[in-house]
Amino acid sequence: MTTIAETRDSRFVSEQEIPEEMRLRKIETQSSYLVNGEIRQWHGEYYDIFSSVLLRDGESLAAKRLGAVPFMTRKESLDALEAAVEAYDRGMGRWPSAPVAERIEAVDEFIRRMAGQKEDVVRLLMWETAKTYNESENEFERTLRYMEDTVDHMRRIDEDNRQFAFDGGFWGQVSYRPSGVVLCMGPSNYPLYETYSLLIPALLTGNTVILKFPRVGVLLHGPIVPAMADCFPPGVVNTIYGDGEAVVGPVMESGNVDILAFMGPSQYVDRLILKHPAPHRLHMVLGLEAKNPAIVLEDADLDLAVSECVLGALAYNGQRCAALKLLFVHESIAGVFLERLQEQVSGIAIGMPWEEHIRITPLADPQRLVYLRGLVEDAVGYGARVVNPGGGEISGTIFYPAVLHRVDERMRVYREEQFGPIIPVAQFRDIAEPVRFMKESRFGQQASIFGKDARQICNVATGILNQVSRININAKCQRGPDLFPFSGKKDSGQGMFSIHDALESFALKTVLAAKDNRENSDIKGFLEKTAM
């Protein structure tokens, strides 16, 4: 495998060649943090944040330094915890006791304030994650929409909850009550969308929150934090920065976290869960790894299947938990499928995130370059072949998408989540082969099936319904639309995400019940009119 000489790749440019409106205006030093409603100045050590977008300086390339964030210690993270615990006050605090309408008003104002920060947040998101400007802008808009729709849904739930259920001579009124203190940790790949799609339902249901921002995708929250301080009562939202286990470990060990809301690797979250002294009490909302397969049947519409598979595998460089990570193609169409796949992948525009029409950009985490190369080499060692010219080559922080053909179970890429631009293709003769893969896989998020025969598609789908949480027919795997439940079976997650389901994940349904008799009718009448 060859490596394109870093200094000769003209995709990497100097700072002066970047369009003015895409440049960072200044080095973003996050010199404060939010605890107990106060924006406190940080006087300790910092750690630097670099972009994986390399900039040319003469013959050499260097990672752009974007800014720095506090390298907090156990002390500050425990201060944040104390503030969240006090604000919750065992469910008696101002926020958990407030009527839903009051919390909605605060969240509405927060959304309005956040919308005003679009320009700065989107630019930081692009630089921190190397996601294209357009995708960064989409992520921002999607996040706002998600938050607004969650508020609307909470409003409807609140109205519905005034209704009574009647059974067995009882009436009951159900409401969503908070669970307690939430430790909220969004991921690096969608640090805005995934973080706020956890935070907002947690807040609307009355919990108090400690937000630990991800290592990649941390600075972009800076412009939003002042709105958190202004919109929510003291201690309801607290922010911590620093080395994950050093700051989050003590918080978990305290036993005061009631919900762990986390998106990222299971290996990491397992260590956190084990630190909790009373894990039976810990609720979890987890989005973890996946190895979503596509099954391309012999009668599939190849144009559609190929373009969906390319998009599914390579959108945001394949750094999506919902990406397609292994294609099973029926052997009768494998030749033509590969030819078209190879053609499409070769035509993909590779470049810098601010350029128009670019699909592949530098990897957000350059440490994965070596890992991805290792996966390709391992597969090639067992007889797989990279079918697209240049596939698997590395240039600076760009990994050129690789279509790997004849992948089989001896290879690591057959099982491991690549989380990068590798498209492994395995051929099958009998549908039992991909079905067995899914049955034996540790993961169970989603799958795609491509084909035309309704009976065959439904048979295959029915056969794998217990393996994954969503099956996409003639479409790639994806989280959206956000009204659909998003979750994972087996090692892929726990709890439900989506505008509707996330509210339930963060709340405990609580019932006021009484015998349905004349003596209780005044109480029922009062409850009908009262906001709880």
Beta-ladder partners of 240: 212
Q: How far is 248 from 266, CA to CA, in rounded Å?
A: 15
Cβ-based nearer residue to ligand G3H, 228 or 321: 321
Nearest to 40 by CA among 215, 182, 241, 185: 241
478 is a site residue for ligand G3H (CB under 6 A):
yes
Q: How far is 465 from 474, CA to CA, in rounded Å?
A: 16
292-296 and 283-287: which strand pairing? Answer: unpaired
First-last CA distance in the chain: 65
Question: Taking the complex as a whole, how short is the minimal distance between the CB of residue 489 and ligand G3H, in angstroms?
Answer: 16
Cβ-based nearer residue to ligand G3H, 24 or 315: 315
479 is a site residue for ligand G3H (CB under 6 A):
yes
Cβ-based nearer residue to ligand G3H, 362 or 488: 488
359 is a site residue for ligand G3H (CB under 6 A):
no
Q: Is 91 helix (H, G, I), strand (E, B) or coil?
A: helix
Cβ-based nearer residue to ligand G3H, 165 or 483: 483
Among 104, 321, 324, 435, binds ligand G3H (CB under 6 A): 321
Contact window for ligand G3H (CB under 6 A) among 40-48, 240-248, 369-377, 476-484: 476-484
Cβ-based nearer residue to ligand G3H, 203 or 321: 321
The position carrying tokens 């956040």 is: 114
Among 116, 279, 335, 480, binds ligand G3H (CB under 6 A): 480
Contact window for ligand G3H (CB under 6 A) among 208-216, 317-325, 338-346, 355-363: 317-325
Cβ-based nearer residue to ligand G3H, 374 or 480: 480
398-399 and 443-444: which strand pairing? Answer: unpaired
Cβ-based nearer residue to ligand G3H, 103 or 479: 479
> What is the rounded radius of gyration, in angstroms, for the C-alpha atoms of the chain?
25
Q: Is 468 helix (H, G, I), strand (E, B) or coil?
A: coil
Q: Is 75 exposed, middle or buried (0-12, 13-18, 19+ CB in 10 A)?
A: exposed
Expressed in percent and rounded to 5, the helix, strand and coil fractions of the chain are 40, 25, 35
Cβ-based nearer residue to ligand G3H, 316 or 337: 316
Cβ-based nearer residue to ligand G3H, 321 or 375: 321
Which tokens hold the place of 298? 């012999």
Q: At what angle do helices 74-88 and 244-253 cross, to 10 degrees?
A: 40
Cβ-based nearer residue to ligand G3H, 44 or 480: 480
Question: Which positions from 150 through 189 interact with ligand G3H, judged by CB under 6 A?
Answer: 189
Contact window for ligand G3H (CB under 6 A) among 174-182, 391-399, 452-460, 474-482: 474-482
Site string for ligand G3H, 276-315 (x = CB under 6 A): ----------------------------------------
Among 12, 33, 171, 190, binds ligand G3H (CB under 6 A): 190
Question: Taking the complex as a whole, how short is the minimal distance between the CB of residue 220 and ligand G3H, in angstroms?
Answer: 16
Question: Which positions from 322 through 341 interact with ligand G3H, judged by CB under 6 A?
Answer: 322
Contact 187, 287 (CB under 8 A): yes
192 is a site residue for ligand G3H (CB under 6 A):
no
Nearest to 431 by CA among 297, 324, 292, 332: 297
Cβ-based nearer residue to ligand G3H, 251 or 471: 471
Contact window for ligand G3H (CB under 6 A) among 22-30, 93-101, 221-229, 473-481: 473-481
Contact window for ligand G3H (CB under 6 A) among 69-77, 205-213, 350-358, 472-480: 472-480
Alpha helices in 276-320 (DSSP H): 302-314
Contact window for ligand G3H (CB under 6 A) among 62-70, 83-91, 234-242, 318-326: 318-326
Among 153, 215, 291, 320, binds ligand G3H (CB under 6 A): 320
Cβ-based nearer residue to ligand G3H, 81 or 321: 321
Nearest to 384 by CA among 426, 351, 347: 426
Q: What b/e readout covers 142-173, taking b as 16+ CB neighbours within 10 angstroms?
A: bbbebbbbbbebbeebbeebeebeeeeeebeb
Contact window for ligand G3H (CB under 6 A) among 64-72, 242-250, 297-305, 316-324: 316-324
Q: What b/e readout covers 4-34, taking b as 16+ CB neighbours within 10 angstroms?
A: eebeeeebbbeeeebeeeeebeeebbbbbbb
Q: Please tell me the count of residues contacting ligand G3H according to CB under 6 A.
A: 8
446 is a site residue for ligand G3H (CB under 6 A):
no
Question: Taking the complex as a whole, how short is the minimal distance between the CB of residue 501 and ligand G3H, in angstroms?
Answer: 14
Q: At what angle do helices 133-160 and 193-204 cross, to 10 degrees?
A: 20
| Site residues (vs ligand G3H, CB under 6 A) | 189-190, 320-322, 478-480
